[in-house]
Chain A
């Protein structure tokens, strides 16, 4: 079965701290895509990053970076120097190869305090 688990329900940090959001996934597919989305209070899911399974190089994009480890089925997401505007619910998602639907984790609510 395909499944995404985000063990952290809520995280609270003080502005300028770094914060890492954990994601563990299960899939039967040999190639697949993983994503992180942000959902602010307005409700819209905002695409942040994607990672394909056949490239394990970790990347940095501005204040965002991600650590993809196929051996442990983990896809962790780090925000460097967090800001109050980063406060939102963050979802990790796995794309199903049959049709492309996304399988989401339960989300991590990040609160960044000034």
Chain B
């Protein structure tokens, strides 16, 4: 297994444009999480999926943000009408809940810069 994979690694976009990020979790993992990390801070939870169901969304996830996990495999995070405040590292993590493993494994992140 190659671990959690995120694409693209870097994205520069103009304010007002839409962007989409992709996360491929570890294949047998049933949970998938999205976090946002700004400079000098710890990651902050955005949302998570149990298989294909989105079960929790943080108040950080404004209506410009949407996430999907079709068929419980890969996930996408879309930001519409980007703002400069959206500039951050977006991290994806996956875990296998219910099988005695409790740790989450992270991808390398997508660094978004909104200019």
Interface size on A, residues (CB 8 A): 25
Within B48-72, the residues touching A (CB, 8 Å) are 48, 55-56
Determine if B102 is an interface residue (Cβ-Cβ < 8 Å): yes
Separation of A53 and B95 alpha carbons in the complex (Å):
20
Determine if B85 is an interface residue (Cβ-Cβ < 8 Å): no
B97 near A45: Cβ-Cβ < 8 Å: no
- Least CB distance from B46 to A in Å reads 9
Which of A43, A95, A106 is the most central at the interface, judged by chain B CB atoms within 10 Å of its CB? A43
Q: Interface residues of A: mostly helix, strand, loop or mixed? A: strand
Q: Interface residues of B: mostly helix, strand, loop or mixed? A: strand
- Least CB distance from B87 to A in Å reads 15
A47 near B104: Cβ-Cβ < 8 Å: yes
A44 near B108: Cβ-Cβ < 8 Å: yes
B103 near A47: Cβ-Cβ < 8 Å: yes
Q: What string of 1s and 0s marks CB contacts (under 8 Å) between B100-115 and chain A?
A: 0011111111010000
B33 near A47: Cβ-Cβ < 8 Å: no
Separation of A105 and B56 alpha carbons in the complex (Å):
21
Q: In the assembled complex, which residues on chain B have CB atoms less than 8 Å from the CB atom of A93?
A: 42
Separation of A35 and B102 alpha carbons in the complex (Å):
10
Chain B interfacial positions (CB closer than 8 Å to A) = 31, 33, 35, 40-45, 48, 55-56, 89, 91, 93, 95, 97, 102-109, 111
